[in-house]
Chain A
């Protein structure tokens, strides 16, 4: 009788154990996409690497053009040989497969959109996911009479020296009369630091 009970307990325990393991494995979902870079290294790479591809190099055999605008805009007009993967859809499985295969093939992915600023964030997400072969086409796209026009675009170029412009404007004005300008009072802003808990000593 005792022996029988023992066997019963063991079998119950083992089935419970197996069940728990199975449930654990079934509910365990590995996150589909994981970042390959942490933010510190990403920042280093962003500030040191160049992501830009000038418009003249667009026909390079090693480049694969990808249009990140919406499919509607893509249908209206796009660069030859480009395929369409709009920004909201870059993390879809099928699209990630495309990026993976392109990386494997050693091709450079060149993203473009209406302007480089629009593509910037898309590129950075892909880059942080580990696709270090993505680049950005330095071009702006516009339409003239339904024809697609590409234009080279300068990124982050200061267009005008604003300080100089303001100085110039005061010079142009009559120097004898002077202008009253309200200056905002000095503000002192203190940022509270989050307190870090520190181990406190004691006896």
Chain B
């Protein structure tokens, strides 16, 4: 009788042991995450990099600014001095060094607005883009050519020569009108009439809700 019971017990124990081992082995499939490997995979990042859809042209940007498109935030990644001397209307300043601060992340990591990075060229803007893209932030764009190109195309558009097609003229007219919107005054414009000194567009106030304090427990 005792022999039978022990045999039964042993039988039962083996089953449990086997079950534990099978579960443990199954656990091997789930792998520990690599701490340094935060964000998306390198292959994915490379694929995102090759696609040039992140770039937004200066003409598109001017159009958005003039039509007061509310769907985007302009982020100036240059240092504070250059930001203070000139920046695009309503842009906010996040110097590249402060890109991953918690304060900046509130602007960058959200789904409400498109984020458009720009700098003098698009070199630093691309750097900001690649880091944020790796972290999986959405709706990131880069102003192609940056402020240098902005100046060349929108602020000071080249006059088309006579051998150019009609499109060049209409493009020039659009750009010239845009540059007037951004504060440039042309001599021929003055002769007609008009009043008031030009003002640079007022800065957009972007308020970020401060983090709520941790709810404190109590009775």
Q: Which residues of A contact B (CB under 8 A)?
A: 2-3, 5-6, 9-10, 12-14, 16-17, 20-21, 23-25, 27-28, 31-40, 42-43, 46-47, 87-88, 90-91, 116-117, 120-122, 124-125, 128-129, 155-163, 165-166, 169-170, 172-174, 177-196, 198-203
Evaluate contact between B207 and A17: CB separation under 8 angstroms: no
Inter-chain contact A24/B110, CB cutoff 8 Å: no
Residues from chain A with a CB closer than 8 A to the CB of B70 are: 187, 189
Docked complex Cα distance between A31 and B44 (Å): 12
Binding site for A on B (CB under 8 A): 4, 7, 10-11, 14-15, 17-18, 21-22, 25-26, 28-29, 31, 34-39, 41-43, 45-46, 49-50, 65, 68, 70, 73, 82, 85-86, 89-90, 96-97, 99-100, 106-107, 109-110, 112-113, 119-124, 126-127, 130-131, 134-135, 146-148, 150-152, 155-156, 180-187, 189-191, 193-209, 211-212, 214-219
- Chain A residues lying within 8 Å of B207, measured Cβ to Cβ, are 188-190
Q: Which one, A23, A46, A161, A192, contacts B112 given CB within 8 A?
A: A192
Asked if A166 and B110 sit within 8 Å, CB to CB, the answer is no
The reply to whether A196 and B211 form a contact with Cβ atoms under 8 Å apart is yes
28 CB contacts below 8 A, A to B, read A2-B4, A9-B15, A9-B18, A17-B21, A24-B25, A28-B29, A32-B43, A35-B37, A35-B38, A37-B36, A42-B131, A117-B126, A121-B49, A122-B49, A166-B182, A172-B185, A173-B185, A178-B197, A181-B180, A181-B196, A186-B204, A189-B73, A189-B113, A192-B110, A193-B110, A193-B209, A194-B110, A201-B218
Candidates B110, B126, B185; contact of A121 at CB < 8 Å: B126
Residues of chain A within 8 A of B42, CB atoms compared: 33-35, 91, 125, 128-129
A17-B18 in contact given A37-B36, A177-B194 (Cβ < 8 Å): yes
Q: Please measure, in the bound complex, the distance between the C-alpha atom of A173 and the C-alpha atom of B126, giving whole angstroms.
A: 38
Looking across the interface, which residue of chain B has its beta carbon closest to that of A24?
B28
The answer for the CA separation of A189 and B110 in the assembled complex, in Å, is 13
Q: Which residue of B lies closest to A16 (CB)?
A: B22
Closest to B107 in A: A191
With A120-B126, A166-B182, A184-B89 given, is the CB distance from A43 to B100 under 8 Å? yes
Q: Could you count the A-B residue pairs with CB atoms below 8 Å apart for me: how many are there? A: 273
Q: Is the CB of A156 within 8 A of B65?
A: no
- Given known pairs A28-B28, A38-B38, A198-B215, the reply for A165 and B156 (CB within 8 Å) is yes
- Contacts of A124 on B, CB cut-off 8 Å? 127, 130
Known: A163-B86, A173-B190. A183 touches B131 (CB 8 A): no
Min C-beta distance of B87 to chain A, whole Å: 9
User: CB-CB < 8 A to A24: which residues of B?
Assistant: 25-26, 28-29
- Residues on A with C-beta less than 8 A from B21 are 13, 17, 20
In whole angstroms, what is the CA distance A202 to B85 when docked? 53
Contact across chains for B147 and A187 when beta carbons are under 8 A apart: no
- Whole-angstrom distance from the CB of A24 to the nearest CB of chain B? 4
A170 touches B198 (CB 8 A): yes
Whole-angstrom distance between the Cβ of A53 and the nearest chain B Cβ: 15
Shortest 8 CB-CB contacts between residues of A and residues of B: A201-B217, A13-B18, A20-B25, A24-B28, A163-B86, A173-B185, A173-B190, A33-B42
Please state if B38 and A39 are interface contacts (CB–CB under 8 Å). Answer: yes
